[in-house]
Protein backbone atom coordinates (compact mmCIF):
# COMPACT_ATOMS: atom_id res chain seq x y z
CA UNK A 1 0.00 0.00 0.00
CA UNK A 2 1.32 3.43 -0.95
CA UNK A 3 1.03 6.77 0.75
CA UNK A 4 -2.13 8.83 0.58
CA UNK A 5 -1.57 12.03 -1.38
CA UNK A 6 -3.72 15.11 -0.89
CA UNK A 7 -4.01 17.36 -3.90
CA UNK A 8 -6.34 19.88 -5.47
CA UNK A 9 -9.44 18.10 -6.74
CA UNK A 10 -10.00 18.16 -10.47
CA UNK A 11 -13.24 17.60 -12.34
CA UNK A 12 -12.38 13.94 -12.96
CA UNK A 13 -11.80 13.36 -9.22
CA UNK A 14 -15.12 14.98 -8.37
CA UNK A 15 -16.97 12.86 -10.91
CA UNK A 16 -15.22 9.67 -9.77
CA UNK A 17 -16.01 10.16 -6.08
CA UNK A 18 -19.60 11.23 -6.82
CA UNK A 19 -20.11 8.09 -8.91
CA UNK A 20 -18.48 5.83 -6.31
CA UNK A 21 -19.85 7.14 -3.02
CA UNK A 22 -19.92 4.58 -0.26
CA UNK A 23 -23.31 3.13 0.65
CA UNK A 24 -23.60 5.31 3.74
CA UNK A 25 -23.02 8.51 1.79
CA UNK A 26 -25.63 7.46 -0.78
CA UNK A 27 -28.11 6.79 2.03
CA UNK A 28 -27.54 10.24 3.53
CA UNK A 29 -27.93 11.90 0.13
CA UNK A 30 -31.19 10.03 -0.47
CA UNK A 31 -32.58 10.99 2.94
CA UNK A 32 -31.62 14.65 2.56
CA UNK A 33 -32.23 15.28 -1.14
CA UNK A 34 -34.54 12.53 -2.37
CA UNK A 35 -33.91 11.49 -5.96
CA UNK A 36 -31.51 14.33 -6.79
CA UNK A 37 -28.38 12.99 -8.46
CA UNK A 38 -25.56 13.08 -5.88
CA UNK A 39 -23.18 14.29 -8.60
CA UNK A 40 -25.18 17.55 -8.85
CA UNK A 41 -25.02 18.15 -5.08
CA UNK A 42 -21.31 17.29 -4.97
CA UNK A 43 -20.56 19.66 -7.85
CA UNK A 44 -22.51 22.44 -6.10
CA UNK A 45 -20.60 21.92 -2.84
CA UNK A 46 -17.26 21.90 -4.64
CA UNK A 47 -18.21 25.14 -6.43
CA UNK A 48 -18.99 26.88 -3.11
CA UNK A 49 -15.79 25.68 -1.42
CA UNK A 50 -12.79 27.92 -0.86
CA UNK A 51 -10.71 24.78 -0.96
CA UNK A 52 -11.42 21.31 -2.30
CA UNK A 53 -8.98 18.42 -2.09
CA UNK A 54 -8.93 14.78 -3.02
CA UNK A 55 -7.20 11.98 -1.13
CA UNK A 56 -5.60 9.59 -3.62
CA UNK A 57 -4.07 6.19 -2.88
CA UNK A 58 -2.22 4.33 -5.62
CA UNK A 59 -3.89 6.49 -8.27
CA UNK A 60 -7.44 5.95 -6.99
CA UNK A 61 -9.45 8.82 -5.46
CA UNK A 62 -10.58 7.77 -1.97
CA UNK A 63 -12.45 10.84 -0.83
CA UNK A 64 -13.19 14.47 -1.51
CA UNK A 65 -13.11 17.07 1.20
CA UNK A 66 -13.22 20.79 1.39
CA UNK A 67 -14.09 23.89 3.30
CA UNK A 68 -16.87 26.41 2.78
CA UNK A 69 -16.60 29.71 4.64
CA UNK A 70 -19.22 29.86 7.42
CA UNK A 71 -19.70 33.59 6.74
CA UNK A 72 -18.17 36.31 4.61
CA UNK A 73 -16.71 38.12 7.61
CA UNK A 74 -15.66 35.36 9.99
CA UNK A 75 -12.73 33.00 9.96
CA UNK A 76 -14.68 29.81 10.60
CA UNK A 77 -14.89 27.03 8.06
CA UNK A 78 -17.49 24.38 7.39
CA UNK A 79 -15.63 21.15 6.69
CA UNK A 80 -17.23 18.53 4.45
CA UNK A 81 -16.01 15.20 3.15
CA UNK A 82 -17.37 12.43 0.98
CA UNK A 83 -15.92 8.91 0.94
CA UNK A 84 -15.88 6.04 -1.51
CA UNK A 85 -16.12 2.40 -0.44
CA UNK A 86 -12.36 2.14 -1.01
CA UNK A 87 -11.74 4.91 1.56
CA UNK A 88 -13.42 2.80 4.23
CA UNK A 89 -10.72 0.16 3.77
CA UNK A 90 -7.92 2.58 4.76
CA UNK A 91 -8.93 4.38 7.98
CA UNK A 92 -5.46 4.29 9.56
CA UNK A 93 -3.65 6.05 6.74
CA UNK A 94 -6.48 8.56 6.41
CA UNK A 95 -6.21 9.40 10.13
CA UNK A 96 -2.42 9.81 10.00
CA UNK A 97 -2.43 11.99 6.91
CA UNK A 98 -5.73 13.66 7.77
CA UNK A 99 -4.37 15.04 11.06
CA UNK A 100 -1.64 16.88 9.17
CA UNK A 101 -4.12 18.29 6.71
CA UNK A 102 -6.56 19.44 9.40
CA UNK A 103 -3.72 21.09 11.32
CA UNK A 104 -2.78 22.94 8.14
CA UNK A 105 -6.36 24.12 7.66
CA UNK A 106 -6.41 25.46 11.20
CA UNK A 107 -3.57 27.84 10.33
CA UNK A 108 -6.01 29.48 7.89
CA UNK A 109 -9.33 29.10 9.74
CA UNK A 110 -10.23 29.98 13.33
CA UNK A 111 -12.27 26.81 13.59
CA UNK A 112 -13.60 23.96 11.49
CA UNK A 113 -17.01 22.47 12.01
CA UNK A 114 -19.36 20.13 10.25
CA UNK A 115 -21.86 17.34 10.70
CA UNK A 116 -21.87 13.57 10.28
CA UNK A 117 -24.83 11.28 9.76
CA UNK A 118 -25.04 9.41 13.09
CA UNK A 119 -25.48 6.11 11.24
CA UNK A 120 -21.85 6.40 10.06
CA UNK A 121 -20.27 5.22 13.31
CA UNK A 122 -16.89 4.61 11.67
CA UNK A 123 -16.79 8.18 10.40
CA UNK A 124 -17.72 9.51 13.84
CA UNK A 125 -14.76 7.58 15.28
CA UNK A 126 -12.47 8.80 12.48
CA UNK A 127 -13.41 12.46 13.12
CA UNK A 128 -12.71 12.00 16.84
CA UNK A 129 -9.30 10.53 15.98
CA UNK A 130 -8.61 13.64 13.89
CA UNK A 131 -9.04 15.64 17.12
CA UNK A 132 -12.52 17.06 16.63
CA UNK A 133 -14.99 17.42 19.48
CA UNK A 134 -18.11 15.49 18.51
CA UNK A 135 -21.45 16.50 20.02
CA UNK A 136 -24.41 14.31 20.83
CA UNK A 137 -26.59 13.51 17.87
CA UNK A 138 -29.65 15.62 17.06
CA UNK A 139 -32.14 15.55 14.22
CA UNK A 140 -31.49 18.05 11.42
CA UNK A 141 -33.46 18.04 8.18
CA UNK A 142 -35.03 14.74 9.22
CA UNK A 143 -31.67 12.96 9.70
CA UNK A 144 -29.83 12.25 12.96
CA UNK A 145 -26.48 14.09 12.80
CA UNK A 146 -23.50 14.62 15.07
CA UNK A 147 -22.02 18.13 14.88
CA UNK A 148 -18.23 18.27 15.20
CA UNK A 149 -15.78 21.14 15.76
CA UNK A 150 -12.10 21.86 16.20
CA UNK A 151 -10.63 25.25 17.07
CA UNK A 152 -7.23 26.61 16.10
Express each pLDDT in 40-98 by its tens digit.
888 889 999 999 999 999 999 999 999 999 988 889 999 999 999 999 888 888 888 88
pLDDT of 116 > 90? The answer is yes
Cα(21)–Cα(40) distance, rounded to whole angstroms?
13
The pTM for the full model equals 0.89
Taking CA atoms, 84 is separated from 12, 54, 105, 130, 134, in Å, by 14, 11, 22, 19, 22
Assign residue 132 the CATH number of its domain: 3.40.630.30
Count of domains for the chain = 1
Cα(50)–Cα(114) distance, rounded to whole angstroms?
15
- State the residue range of the domain holding 70: 5-151
**Across the chain, what does the average pLDDT equal?**
91
Amino acid sequence: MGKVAFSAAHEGDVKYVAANLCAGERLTFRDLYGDVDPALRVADTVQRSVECRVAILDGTPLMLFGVVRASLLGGDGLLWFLATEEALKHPGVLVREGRKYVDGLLTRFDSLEGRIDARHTGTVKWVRLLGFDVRSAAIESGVLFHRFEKRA
